[in-house]
Structures are given as structure tokens and as C-alpha cells.
Amino acid sequence: MWASFKQWQQIGAQVRRGEKGTPVVFYKELQRRGGSGADVPISGQFEGAAAEATGSGTYLMAKTSYVFNAAQVEGDTPPQRPELPGLAVRLESAERFVASTVAVIVHGGDRAYYKPAEDRIQLPPPEQFRSSEGYYATALHELTHWSGHKSRLDRDLKGRFGTAAYAAEGLVAEIGAAFLCVKAGVTAEPREDHAHYLKSWIAVLKAENRAIFSAASQAQKAADYLQGLQPP
């Protein structure tokens, strides 16, 4: 559980002397008014995607804040996090979420990927995963890729491994999966291939310091699209 310095004080707690805050970033879309130095279009690899994500005449404004964990404070006991439903209920909910997208999912082999040319998702059989949560977290990652097909959100899915476009789409899928895992109450597990992805993601983020905001914006669109496929 995290809160800002003032937020902890508001519930009677106090951040211990010498504790260091952790930065978090919030962003929102704002309408351009013209002539402002802040109205700088997102450039580089994400330029086209960012224009689509933010819409004509809008831009993203970021704000950094610093937060402290409950382990860094003294005083009143912080409020308890609400109990989540049991794991079986959450996994059933995740299964319904995946099924409601009507995406074509084929099970077999030992790799997980989305193939745009055939518009299908390939997943290893569930029993090959270390846990059921790992299976659904991977399915949500691939569904985020699936949302980018030209007949849906029309993101650039043509990049080859090692290219900036490939890394950008991988970052969108990973953030989108994180959003969806929170929604489904599923705990994502680290995947061995993430070590390979991280190298390409870092290169993109170093080349374009606003790339994370564009990726997050596209990931939110993907999560909203998939949520919109669910029954009322």
C-alpha cells in the first residue's frame, strides 16, 4: 500500500525520517490551445501511434509525485486492502473474459505468440504453465496483441524481432496485460523471454523519453477495447 507524504499524515501516520520516496507518474490528455511551449507533439518511433492515441488537437501532460510504502511509516495502522474473491472465482472470471473476446486460440507447442497473418493466438496447453494464473496472464498479453489487428485497433504489428516497432508493440502488450490482470484479479508471473524483451524496451525508452506514455495510452485503448467485448 502506497501514499504520498501528506496522504499518510491525513490518516494519522508519519513517514519515518530518512525514508526515500518512490516516483510515480500520472498523465492525462489535454486540449491544445496553440502557441504553448508545452504543446510539443510526440516524436520518433511512436509519432503516428501517439497521434492516433491522443486524437487531433490533444497532447499528454505528465506529472510526477513521490509515494511511500506502508513499511516506511509509523503511527496508525493503515486501512486494510479489501479481500479479493477466492482464486477459483478469479480464474473463472478470467476464463470468461478470454472466451468472450471470441479470439481464435490454438493450444499446442511450447511457445505463446499472436500471428497477425492468420489472426490467431497460439498458447501452450494450460498444464505446461507453472500456475493457472500464469496461463491467463499470458493469454491476456497475447489478447492485447490481438486487439491491434488491422480490423480492430490497427496498430503496427509487422515489426520483426529486434526492431523498434517490435519492441514498441511488446511494451504495449505488456502494459495492457498488466491492466487486464489487475481487472481480473490475476497475478502475472515473470516469463523467461522477458529478459530478451527488456533489452529492446530499454533501447526504445532511451531513444524516446515519452515512449512510455504513448505505449500506456495505446495499452489503455487495447484494454478498453477488450473490456468492450464483454457481456453487460
3-state secondary structure of 206: helix
Q: If we measure between CA atoms, which residue out of 117, 115, 21 comes closest to residue 67?
A: 21
Q: Inform me whether the pLDDT recorded for 20 exceeds 80.
A: yes
| More confident of the two residues 168 and 114 | 114
C-alpha cell at 75: 503511527
pLDDT in tens, 184-209: 888 877 666 666 777 777 887 888 87
Q: Inform me whether the pLDDT recorded for 41 exceeds 50.
A: no
| More confident of the two residues 169 and 31 | 169
Can you tell me the distance from the alpha carbon of 198 to that of 196, in angstroms, rounded to the nearest whole number?
6
Give the H or E element holding residue 28. Answer: strand 22-31
Can you tell me the distance from the alpha carbon of 140 to that of 153, in angstroms, rounded to the nearest whole number?
16
Q: If we measure between CA atoms, which residue out of 24, 98, 29, 93 comes closest to residue 63?
A: 24
